[in-house]
């Protein structure tokens, strides 16, 4: 079951609560280059991206979000824009005026970036830093409240503050506490438009930390949505597999309200992978689901060709589960929860199933795909 979360409004596309798990990507062009960003954002949206994040390293970049949005709106694109801010709380304040959501990193929001110094903090010094964070963070929350801007607290493995490192080290507990310190301030300020992410490039660290984050929030009665991603996942098949393992494992736990697959490729390439992970975990269904056996010595027909033919005929039937099984011996039993089954019954002969019930027995292979479509059409009327 999906973990219950509060709804967070990000422009016109809300997330969390009962909303579909959202898919997002990030531009790679400089945020001062309006034209290049707009072109990339359009490609991301055309591929199905629902939010687009832009790196916002300075005031100039934050202010240019306005021009980028105007250019997008002129061309009919009203995708929510997310500013990604590190190391500079003043930039976050400006970004909150123009973006629908601002990501800040608790590891470097107020604390100076990690200096790799071993520092021992007394309890008083530790409390004083927390106080300093609160004093800087609350005005930012007020700007966000006034402009209906959501925030994301995005912690990354490897970018924790010296203060957190001194107590927890670079551990899942440290990453979670880094986030909790900020969340407690949000709760105190009754600001609930907050999304959390904890990312690592190692799916094992990432999954353990996000699970710890979710259980820690539960203990403090917090229900903020989660953004999932494996950072620096790489490219090609390796990057896709790493993302699928990390993001997929958490989705199967019922965790996650938005996902980003990070690939060292053109940003729009991330989108189909994200939808593939959502479909494989049945977290968000956007296409026909196919269940097919690997084939073996019992297979009664050319499996690959048949799968291609069945797919071509049924790929528009979003949400249906169709099994293509090589033989009658094991096929019907192993086609799991398929709605329909196409099963090899003998040389050149096919049996068709509705669920576990055989509805056409031993029909000629040449007629089977049409017959399957006929049955589905009749059932859907």
Q: How far is the CB of 313 from ligand SF4 (least distance, A)?
A: 20
302 touches ligand SF4 by CB under 6 A: no
What sign has the CA pseudo-torsion 197, 203, 209, 212? Answer: positive
Rounded to the nearest 10 degrees, the angle between the axes of helix 203-219 and helix 236-252 is: 20
Query: Which string of DSSP letters, residue by residue, matches 36-79?
Result: HHHHHHHHHHHTT-SEEEEE--SHHHHHHHHHHHHHHHHTT---
- Interface stretch with ligand SF4, choices 96-104, 106-114, 289-297, 371-379 (CB under 6 A): 289-297
Q: How far is the CB of 100 from ligand SF4 (least distance, A)?
A: 49
Number of residues that bind ligand SF4 (CB under 6 A): 13
Q: Residue 124 burial by CB count (10 A; 0-12/13-18/19+): exposed, middle or buried? A: exposed
295 touches ligand SF4 by CB under 6 A: yes
Site string for ligand SF4, 2-21 (x = CB under 6 A): --------------------
Pull the structure tokens for residue 60.
């100039």
Q: How far is the CB of 323 from ligand SF4 (least distance, A)?
A: 9
299 touches ligand SF4 by CB under 6 A: yes
310 touches ligand SF4 by CB under 6 A: no
Q: How far is the CB of 348 from ligand SF4 (least distance, A)?
A: 15
For ligand SF4, which residue of 296, 308, 312, 361 counts as binding (CB under 6 A)? 296
Q: How far is the CB of 244 from ligand SF4 (least distance, A)?
A: 24
Name the residue nearer to ligand SF4 (CB basis): 204 or 334: 334
DSSP letter at 328? T
**Cα(155)–Cα(168) distance, integer angstroms:** 14
For ligand SF4, which residue of 106, 203, 326, 341 counts as binding (CB under 6 A)? 326
Supply angle C-alpha 122, 125, 127, rounded to 5.
110
Q: How far is the CB of 49 from ligand SF4 (least distance, A)?
A: 37
285 touches ligand SF4 by CB under 6 A: no
Name the residue nearer to ligand SF4 (CB basis): 104 or 303: 303
Name the residue nearer to ligand SF4 (CB basis): 115 or 298: 298
**Cα(146)–Cα(289) distance, integer angstroms:** 44
- The separation between CA 233 and the C-alpha centre of its own chain, rounded to angstroms, equals 14
307 touches ligand SF4 by CB under 6 A: no
Residues 115-144 that bind ligand SF4 (CB under 6 A): none
For ligand SF4, which residue of 28, 185, 330, 358 counts as binding (CB under 6 A)? 330
What is the total residue count of the chain?
Answer: 381
Output 336-339 pairs: Cβ under 8 A, ≥24 positions apart. Answer: 336/291, 338/291
For ligand SF4, which residue of 49, 256, 331, 341 counts as binding (CB under 6 A)? 331
Name the residue nearer to ligand SF4 (CB basis): 57 or 299: 299
**Cα(369)–Cα(243) distance, integer angstroms:** 35
293 touches ligand SF4 by CB under 6 A: yes
349 touches ligand SF4 by CB under 6 A: no
The candidate with the shortest Cα–Cα distance to 197, out of 240, 237, 151, is 151
**Tokens 């989108």 label which residue?**
271
329 touches ligand SF4 by CB under 6 A: yes
- Interface stretch with ligand SF4, choices 8-16, 23-31, 92-100, 292-300 (CB under 6 A): 292-300
323 touches ligand SF4 by CB under 6 A: no
Pull the structure tokens for residue 340.
């329909």
327 touches ligand SF4 by CB under 6 A: yes
Which residue is closest to ligand SF4 by CB?
326
**Cα(314)–Cα(316) distance, integer angstroms:** 5
The answer to whether 82 touches 102, Cβ cutoff 8 Å, is: yes
**Cα(126)–Cα(122) distance, integer angstroms:** 6
The candidate with the shortest Cα–Cα distance to 76, out of 46, 33, 36, is 46
Q: How far is the CB of 291 from ligand SF4 (least distance, A)?
A: 11
Q: Left if phi > 0, otherwise alpha if psi is -120 to 50, otherwise beta: which for 234?
A: left
Question: Which residues of the chain form contacts with ligand SF4 (CB under 6 A)?
Answer: 293-296, 298-299, 325-327, 329-331, 334
């Amino acid at each position: 079951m999906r973990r219950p979360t509060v709804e967070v409004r990000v422009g016109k596309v809300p997330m969390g609560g009962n909303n579909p798990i959202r898919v997002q990507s990030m531009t790679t062009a400089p945020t001062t280059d309006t034209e290049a960003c707009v072109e990339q954002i359009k490609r991301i949206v055309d591929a199905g991206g629902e939010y687009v994040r832009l790196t916002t390293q300075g005031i100039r970049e934050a202010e240019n979000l306005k021009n980028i949005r105007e250019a997008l709106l002129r061309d009919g694109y009203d995708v929510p824009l997310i500013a990604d801010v590190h190391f500079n709380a003043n930039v976050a304040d400006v970004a909150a005026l123009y973006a629908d959501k601002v990501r800040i990193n608790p590891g470097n929001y107020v604390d100076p970036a990690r200096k790799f110094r071993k520092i021992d903090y007394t309890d008083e010094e530790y409390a004083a830093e927390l106080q300093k964070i609160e004093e800087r963070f609350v005005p930012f929350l007020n700007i966000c409240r006034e402009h209906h801007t959501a925030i994301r607290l995005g912690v990354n493995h490897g970018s924790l503050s010296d203060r957190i490192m001194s107590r927890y080290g670079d551990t899942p507990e440290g990453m979670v506490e880094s986030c909790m310190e900020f969340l407690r301030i949000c709760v105190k300020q009754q600001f609930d438009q907050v999304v959390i992410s904890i990312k690592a490039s190692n799916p094992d660290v990432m999954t353990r930390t996000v699970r710890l984050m979710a259980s820690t929030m539960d203990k403090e009665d917090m229900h903020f949505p989660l953004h999932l991603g494996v950072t620096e996942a790489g490219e090609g098949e390796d990057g896709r597999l790493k993302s699928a393992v990390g993001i997929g494992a958490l989705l199967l736990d019922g965790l996650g309200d938005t996902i980003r697959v990070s690939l060292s490729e053109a940003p729009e390439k991330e989108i189909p992978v994200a939808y593939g992970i959502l479909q494989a975990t049945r977290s968000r269904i956007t296409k026909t689901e196919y269940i097919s056996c690997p084939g073996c010595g019992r297979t009664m027909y050319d499996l690959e060709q048949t799968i291609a033919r069945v797919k071509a005929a049924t790929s528009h039937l979003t949400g249906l589960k169709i099994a293509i099984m090589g033989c009658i011996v094991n096929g019907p039993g192993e086609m799991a929860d398929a709605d329909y089954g196409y099963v090899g019954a003998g040389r050149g002969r096919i049996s068709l199933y509705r669920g576990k019930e055989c509805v056409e027995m031993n029909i000629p292979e040449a007629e089977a795909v049409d017959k399957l479509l006929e049955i589905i059409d009749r059932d859907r009327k």
